[in-house]
Amino acid sequence: MSEHRAGLVAVIGRPNVGKSTLINAVMGRKVSIVTAKPQTTRHRILAVLSLADAQIIFVDTPGLHRKAGKAMNRLMNRAAANALADADLVLFVSDATRWTSEDDDVLKRLKSCRAPVVALLNKVDRVHPKEKLLDSLGLMSARHDFEEILPISAQKGDNLDELLALIPKFLPESPPLFPEDMHTDRSDEFHAAEVIREKLTLLLHQELPYGLTVQVERFVQEENGITINAVVWVERDSQKGIVVGKNGNVLKKVGRSARLELAESLQQAVHLELWVKVKSNWADSEKDLLSLGYEAP
Ligand SMILES: Nc1nc2c(ncn2[C@@H]2O[C@H](COP(=O)(O)OP(=O)(O)O)[C@@H](O)[C@H]2O)c(=O)[nH]1
Ligand SMILES: [Mg+2]
């Protein structure tokens, strides 16, 4: 009988390579929101996977990115850097169809990290013909002395069993660090705010998603279900109209799809009310960020 192992696995990579999709896929549930837009993940989120002889604690991170202009971007970069410092293993995720200079930047940061690094070439479902994958694998092994390089598709589930079999070898012997029925360190309130932000991001175009955040003000269990009141904060008056939409149609759509998803995940009826409010420059004020639920560095 082998000993039980447990440890932190940081999932690192530039924005949009599929880090959150990967975590949701191995967890078999949605822990972290996903959209096609970069910078969807803004927080460090733990996903706890309890297996028979190992507990894998995945750390989802905002993608490490260059434009660290606003306070929020600096916080996001710091969250990713902290996850690296604590990790027992790093999963470096990249997109098998596209290597960019931002990937180079992330890789540079990994070179100074103590933890072993496994490289994941994600989105292999998009690689055609398959022989191209051999080239990508060759290029990857020349970039760094990775412990392993694994082609995967987070979306299709390809090679994820192999990945899960590989990870425990890199974790220290340890009893479980979290209760086995715990799947994430985040509350239902936090998840509700994230799901609403995901629906907003999916519906709104261009730059606006980066200028908004969602705060759940009330989350109460009532006899006939859960009532959630949430505020969508935007930076400017002009953005308010866009979020509300003509005759309120955007906000209605967002509310409806968020409510349906939350009712499913919370397994009961959800009553959701959304308001849009303006707080200028919230994304560049450390004080506002803290009051809006962004964690202190
Ligand atoms: N085709 C394909 N798309 C993927 C795969 N994994 C993620 N995606 C898509 O890539 C986009 C970014 O995913 P996300 O998990 O938010 O990336 P993150 O920013 O690294 O967390 C989303 O549109 C995903 O649906 C994959 O294996 N194959
Ligand atoms: Mg993400």
In terms of domains, do 59 and 154 share one?
A: yes
Best residue among 21, 44, 136 to mutate for probing ligand 1, ranked by most atoms within 8 Å of CB: 21
Q: Quick one: DSSP state of residue 19?
A: H
In tens, the pLDDT along 125-160 reads 999 999 999 999 999 999 999 999 999 999 999 999
pLDDT at 263: 98
CA 207 to chain centre: 19
pTM: 0.93
Ranges of residues in the chain whose predicted pLDDT is under 70: 1, 67-68, 207, 296-297
In this structure, the residue with its CA closest to atom 2 of ligand 1 is: 123
The rounded Å distance from CA 154 to ligand 1 centre is: 7
Closest atom of ligand 1 to CA, residue 34 = 16
Distance 150 CA to ligand 1 centre (A): 16
Domain that holds residue 223: 188-291
Residues 11 and 64 in one domain: yes
Terminus-to-terminus CA distance in the chain, angstroms?
A: 41
Is the dihedral angle over the CA atoms 200, 202, 205, 209 positive or is it negative? Answer: positive
Q: Is the CB of 20 under 6 A from ligand 1?
A: yes
Radius of gyration of the chain (CA): 20
123 lines ligand 1 (CB under 6 A): yes
Single-letter amino acid, residue 33: I
Ion ligand 2 residues within 5 Å by Cβ: 19-20, 41
Instruction: Give the C-alpha separation, 40 to 248, whole Å.
Output: 24
Give yes or no: residues 152 and 30 share one domain.
Answer: yes
Under 8 Å between Cβ of 174 and 196: no
CATH number at residue 130: 3.40.50.300
Which ligand sits nearest to residue 155's alpha carbon? 1
Tell me, yes or no, whether 96 and 145 share the same domain. yes
